[in-house]
Amino acid sequence: MTNKDTSSREFKGDYLYVKPKSSPRELIQKIFLKLLQILFPKKFLLYKDRIRSIMNKFRNYLFFISKNIYLRFKYPRYFTLPIQHIHSIDTLLIFLEILKPKKIDFFLLYGSLLGAVRQESFAGRPKDIDLGIKEDQLQKLLDGIPLIMKNKAVASIRCHGELSVQKLKRLQFLLHHSLIDVEVFRKKNEMWQGEPQKLYLIDEMYNRNFAGSVFPISDLENLLPIKVYGKKFLSPANPEIYLVQVYGKNWRIPNKKQFFWNKNKLK
């Protein structure tokens, strides 16, 4: 996918891709809604929303239970991991495997980096994985989007900013109900800067607002290996300085019970 292809692509809202429903599922849904409209014409919308909510909760519950069992046998080493942790590490490994041919140096950020440094696992009950990418590698990611869209695990791709190397701010990939959030970093004023334009909640545990991320040039030019659940990923150099910047000087102290892959980190 070239710059011209990505910048001229049209998509609804800020969603670049949404996985289509299977034909049998779509047909069954249409038949069911038609019957519901015939039987309850005056309360059709009310019942439709209620039934949809119940069905979504039931489907998600069945998915997590079945996936939980499957993953514990897929990764015997992770058999005792909390459910959200094993889902998150599986999602990250699938995502990186899809893009392995592109040789992209993703690095951990925010809560994902916090957990990696502090406990060699993700912090809290992870529902998303935070990654960063340097601007000079962004075209590789854009070129890899067709690979991602072909994978059955991917439910949607969301784009923040214009879909081009010059304007893109972040991409979000939803895989198996877990979110991969990829933030783009650009060189500015002798620093690597993320998305400073938008204030957003970094971590509910800390209830802190933070306007983007800033790294010295050398910290992203010299990425370091870091272990998470016994596997190696990449981290900015001097991650402790970044974590103080985001979470404050007491970032090493969790404010509630946390899962620690490396029990020595508890000492």
The owner of tokens 């190397």 is 165
Dig out the tokens for 61 from the structure: 């519950």
> What residue spans define the domains of the chain?
3-18+83-266, 23-77
Which mean pLDDT values do the consecutive 10-residue runs of the chain (267 residues) have?
Answer: 35 71 69 80 81 81 88 94 93 96 96 95 91 96 94 91 89 91 92 66 41 85 96 97 91 88 75
The owner of tokens 């991991």 is 81
The CATH classification number of 3-18+83-266 equals: 3.30.460
Q: Which of 173, 251, 187, 250 is nearest to 218 (CA)?
A: 187
Q: Determine contact, residues 169/161, Cβ cutoff 8 Å.
A: yes
Secondary structure of 114-154 as H, E, C letters: HHHHHHCCCCCCCCEEEEEEEHHHHHHHHHHHHHHHHCCCE
Which residues have CB under 8 Å from 237's CB, separation 6+? 218, 219, 220, 222, 223, 224
What is the reported pTM? 0.81
What does the alpha-carbon distance between residue 92 and residue 39 come to, in Å, rounded to a whole number? 45
Q: How far is CA 149 from CA 20, 156, 176, in A?
A: 11, 8, 14
pLDDT of residue 107: 98
Dig out the tokens for 249 from the structure: 């000087």
| CA dihedral of 241, 246, 251, 252, whole degrees rounded to 10 | -50
The per-residue b/e assignment along 93-130, b for 16 or more CB within 10 angstroms, e otherwise, is ebbeebbeeeebebbbbbbbbbbbbbbbbbbbebebbb
The per-residue b/e assignment along 18-41, b for 16 or more CB within 10 angstroms, e otherwise, is eeeeeeeeeeeeeeeeeebeeeee
